[in-house]
Amino acid sequence: MLDRIKSILKDPADLTMETMDNGYTRMELCFFPSMCDLKEIKDGILIPFSYRFDPDEFRRMLNSDLCFIEAGKPEEWGNMLLKGCALLEYEGKVFCYAAIRKMQDKPADTEVEASLQGPQSAFTEDLDLNTYLLRLRYNSPTLQAEKLEKGELSNTRIMIFYDRNLVDEPSLEELRKKLKNIEMKLVQASGQLGMYMGGSRFSMFPITLKTERPDRIAQLIQRGKVALLVDGSRFAIALPVRFFDFMHAMDDDYEPFWMGRLIIAFRYIGMLLSMTLPSLYISISSYNPEFFRVQLAFSVDGSRAAVPYPSFIEVFIMLFMIEALIEASIRLPRFVGSTAATVGGLILGQAAQQAGLVSSIMIIVTSVVAISNFVIPNSSFSYSIRAMKYIFVVASIFYGMVGVIITMFLVVVYLCNLRSFGQPYLSLFKQGEEQRRARRGAESS
Amino acid sequence: MRKIGLLIAIFALLSGCGIKDIDKRFFVVTTGIDWTGNPEKPYRVSLRLAITSSKLESGSSKTEIISTDAASLAEGVRHLKSYVDKELDFGHCRTFIMGKQLLEHGNLNAMSWFARRRDIQRVANFAVGEPDALSILRVQPISERYPGNALFLTFNREGTESPYIVSIPLFDFTRRHFEMGLDPVLPIIRTAESTYIVDRVLLLDKNNMRLALDPAETQLYNMTANRIDKSELVMPARGRDGRIVMTVSQIRTKIRISHAEVPQITMTVKLRGMLEESPPNQLGENWKEIERQLGQQFSDRMEALLEKIRDAGVDPYGFGLHYLATYFGGKEDFKHWQSVYPNVKFKVVAEVKVTGPGVVR
């Protein structure tokens, strides 16, 4: 066996290949120490083979223990080793022992989608643990799982989960078709997969939902969606999704009804503000000042008196600053992160206005835009809104108020046109239908 | 990519030249139009311009007044643009004042300039300046926080809510000017030192002024025509010193016009309110009697006012329009109405309800 492996893997330095002799008989053992749990190898193979050796028992163990799988095909050996299995040849038969090193053994804490009073556990970067988390929350015999591998070089394991009574069949078919067509060398993150899979890398809005919360995935599966778990990524993908799913935080379901609705309403207002406020500032202060109340018009007029550039340049200056600040605080290491916020806050808040570079109203506009963008619960959706804002700004530079209104209309048209795995993106009444289907599913099962 | 670039280039070409930053605009806060008496250039157009600052304090408002004589309003305003360094913007001009002499000589049809301009808001208020518009513009109220605010607050009921103030926005003024059976009215602004006094109303026919009401009549007109509450009913207390004053908190008016040869107009007015002032010991007595007396007094005064208005030949209440609307009137009916209007009879029924004596017991 060892010669065969040598010919496949060309004897890498981190591969251990041993021929072991315990005095009675010999065994060939081969594994990657870095990828295997050494303690398991010791407990599972070395101890029974060395000082507890009993030929009958050892043979029985190899044949009946669930951890040992007979590996008859030599061409699979390389992949098995690379997945973290140990291979052993005993009495002419080759066995594979799954002693994969696990980095995580407990669920992670939510980091991106924090919840105040909901569950605090999140998916990890280990697929098996993620499967456990999902099965734990969706403990039903109807939960169906499919397994596949993607990526020529990464050989990433992917699991597809859905409830077989509730799932939307056409979407599932489309997903399978799209997965089949994907040819990637490396699958590193679920987002990457989601992007390729959507067939819409240039879409302005995300059409698959990424989440790190097992409770959200369980809820989506219950609503007939399909979930994809990717090994090595702590984000699961759910599809098909609608516009409104992105504005939903799990806390909405855990808080009293009316408070939840109120917060959702604020979230939509925040989204609209974050998208349109800079463009409204341009169009009102450069095209239609009669839109303001007279007090505000006069104070904008007064505060803009020192500003040398037209309003859209002012807007671009401030928007660039705030985007740079947000980007910097995401990428910076935690230790220096607060420095960026302090420096940025000082510059944005005071100095820019005192230097006469921007008006004081613009500072308020900028901060409202930034803060209300953070209100959006889903980060990929909030990226979309951040980008949409610039389309509005450009429209308002050329056409003023009319431009903003027409762009808004165009955005709605675009959203109506968008499809997420065959389902309309902006369908208002899908949810009711899903709930009816869920009820039907519960009755039939 | 090339297509997108081309599209952007086309969009850029399409844009108009409308972009003008707010700090490059001069906001007109009050416009005044006077009669010069010169037949060549009959109109004197005066604009009160706001000088803005980012700090707003009481009395900090600064304005600039520019004025020119012209043959028409449009020419005057265009000429005035050459007096200033920024673009004139009428978007926040919410008060237009016409000199009294203009209404005596001028032709209201020439005023269509207001209704045609896109940037003049339809909610801008119209008024008459006494003695002329320019002198009203020159007043600088001490309390004014930002330019032109005092007149905005006076007319749009955001600030003071006086029963003497009649507000006529542009849309209403135009409607009254063109509508059959409804005539324009205008509040009269007078000045006293550094404040405005607005307590009278001027009734016009389609072209000229006809009748100016005194403050008490103005209040009555405003109560019945515009249902302005926060007004008052007053009468001397019978047999005692002092007066009985009732504040009206709710007022309902209903007009019915009979279909007789000479129609009779019945106006039913329902008033509710509390006694704000009354002689001592009055409260224990019969309120019904007070209500009856107040109502009687109100309807007597109202009938006198309506007859006065009728005799002046104007119809600010829109009785004519009401008549046409009730009886499917056409042009013939309107002619008939015009011929009989000087003879119509008025009956005012006042139902007064006193809800209480206020918070005293």
What separation, in Å, do the N-terminal and C-terminal C-alpha atoms of chain A show? 50
In this prediction, residue A104 carries a pLDDT of: 73
B152 at A interface, C-beta within 8 A: yes
Query: How far away is chain B from the Cα of A183, in angstroms, using its nearest Cα?
Result: 26
Average pLDDT (B221-242) is: 83
B341 SS3 class: helix
CA A203 – CA A111 distance, rounded (Å)? 26
CB contact under 8 A, B50 and A298: yes
A311 at B interface, C-beta within 8 A: yes
B91 at A interface, C-beta within 8 A: yes
Q: How far is CA A406 from the centre of its chain?
A: 33
Query: How far away is chain B from the Cα of A195, in angstroms, using its nearest Cα?
Result: 21
Per-residue pLDDT band at B283 (split at 50, 70, 90) = low
In this prediction, residue B46 carries a pLDDT of: 93
In this prediction, residue B256 carries a pLDDT of: 92
Do A97 and A77 form a contact (C-beta atoms < 8 A)? no
| A73: amino acid identity, one letter | K
In this prediction, residue B160 carries a pLDDT of: 85
B117 at A interface, C-beta within 8 A: no
Using an 8 Å CB-CB cutoff, list chain A residues near B48.
none
Q: Is the pLDDT of residue B56 over 80?
A: no
Query: How far away is chain B from the Cα of A310, in angstroms, using its nearest Cα?
Result: 6
CA B91 – CA A31 distance, rounded (Å)? 81
CA B75 – CA B229 distance, rounded (Å)? 42
CB contact under 8 A, B19 and A286: yes
In this prediction, residue A186 carries a pLDDT of: 81
| Range in A73-77, A95-99, B152-156 with the lowest mean pLDDT | A73-77
Q: Which helix (H) or strand (E) holds B267?
A: strand B264-277
Structure tokens at A88: 């052993």
- The class (CATH top level) of B216-361 is alpha beta
Taking CA–CA distances from A304, the nearest residue in chain B reads B23
Using an 8 Å CB-CB cutoff, list chain A residues near B146.
294-295, 298
CB contact under 8 A, B15 and A310: no
Per-residue pLDDT band at A198 (split at 50, 70, 90) = low
In this prediction, residue B213 carries a pLDDT of: 92
Taking CA–CA distances from A399, the nearest residue in chain B reads B15
Phi, psi of A423 (to 5 degrees): -105, 140
Residue with tokens 């005092």: B150
pLDDT in tens, A213-244: 999 999 999 888 899 998 888 899 998 888 88
Do B120 and B114 form a contact (C-beta atoms < 8 A)? yes
- Three-state secondary structure along B270-316? EEEEEEEECCCCCCCCCHHHHHHHHHHHHHHHHHHHHHHHHHCCCCC
Identify from B29, B53, B54, B120 which residue to disrupt to test chain A contact, counting A C-beta atoms within 10 A and taking the largest count. Answer: B54
Residue with tokens 């980091």: A111
Beta partners for residue B31, in sequence order: B47, B96
CB contact under 8 A, B22 and A310: no
Average pLDDT value over all residues in chain B? 86
In this prediction, residue A162 carries a pLDDT of: 92
User: Which residues, in sequence order, are CB contacts of B56 under 8 Å at separation 6+?
Assistant: A295, A298, A299, B145, B146
B89 at A interface, C-beta within 8 A: yes
B10 at A interface, C-beta within 8 A: no
What does the domain layout of chain B look like in residue ranges?
Answer: 21-213, 216-361
User: Which residues, in sequence order, are CB contacts of A92 under 8 Å at separation 6+?
Assistant: none
Residue with tokens 């006694």: B275
Average pLDDT (B23-46) is: 89
B95 at A interface, C-beta within 8 A: no
Per-residue pLDDT band at A444 (split at 50, 70, 90) = low
CA B149 – CA A295 distance, rounded (Å)? 9
CB contact under 8 A, B11 and A300: no
Order of strands across the sheet with A236-239? A143-150, A156-163, A226-230, A236-239, A209-211
CB pairs under 8 A between A and B: 77
CA A191 – CA A246 distance, rounded (Å)? 15
DSSP state of A27: E
Beta partners for residue B255, in sequence order: B267
| Closest CB to B92 among A294, A304, A398 | A294
Q: Is the pLDDT of residue A391 over 90?
A: yes
In this prediction, residue B349 carries a pLDDT of: 93
Do B271 and B350 form a contact (C-beta atoms < 8 A)? yes
Q: Which helix (H) or strand (E) holds B11?
A: helix B2-14
Instruction: Please return the burial class of A174, using the count of CB atoms within 10 Å of its CB with bins 0-12, 13-18 and 19+.
Output: buried
Q: What is the DSSP string of B157-219?
A: SSS---TT---EEHHHHHHHHHSTT---EEEEEEEETTEEEEEEEEEE-SSSEEEEE-HHHHH
CA A10 – CA A304 distance, rounded (Å)? 72
Cis amide leading into A333 (omega within 30): no
| Range in A74-78, B53-57, B103-107 with the lowest mean pLDDT | B53-57
Average pLDDT (B17-36) is: 85
Average pLDDT (B31-47) is: 89
| Closest CB to A301 among B23, B121, B149 | B23
Do A175 and A198 form a contact (C-beta atoms < 8 A)? no
Give how far Cα B225 sits from Cα of B219, B222, B255, B315, B318, Å: 10, 5, 10, 11, 9
Do A276 and A270 form a contact (C-beta atoms < 8 A)? no
Q: Is the pLDDT of residue B188 over 80?
A: yes
**Is the ipTM value over 0.90, yes or no?**
no
A286 at B interface, C-beta within 8 A: yes
Q: Is the pLDDT of residue A200 over 70?
A: no
Average pLDDT (A251-270) is: 90
CB contact under 8 A, B52 and A299: yes
Beta partners for residue A110, in sequence order: none
Q: Is the pLDDT of residue A298 over 90?
A: no
User: What residue spans of A142-292 are helical by DSSP H?
Assistant: 169-181, 190-198, 214-222, 251-254, 257-286
Residue with tokens 């003879």: B343
- As a dihedral over the C-alpha atoms of residue B122, residue B128, residue B134, residue B135, rounded to 10 degrees, the angle is -130
In this prediction, residue A268 carries a pLDDT of: 94
Do A75 and A211 form a contact (C-beta atoms < 8 A)? no
Give how far Cα A189 sits from Cα of A158, A174, A352, B222, Å: 11, 21, 39, 73
pLDDT in tens, B314-336: 999 999 999 998 887 788 888 98
Angle at A88 between CA A86 and CA A90, to 5 degrees: 160
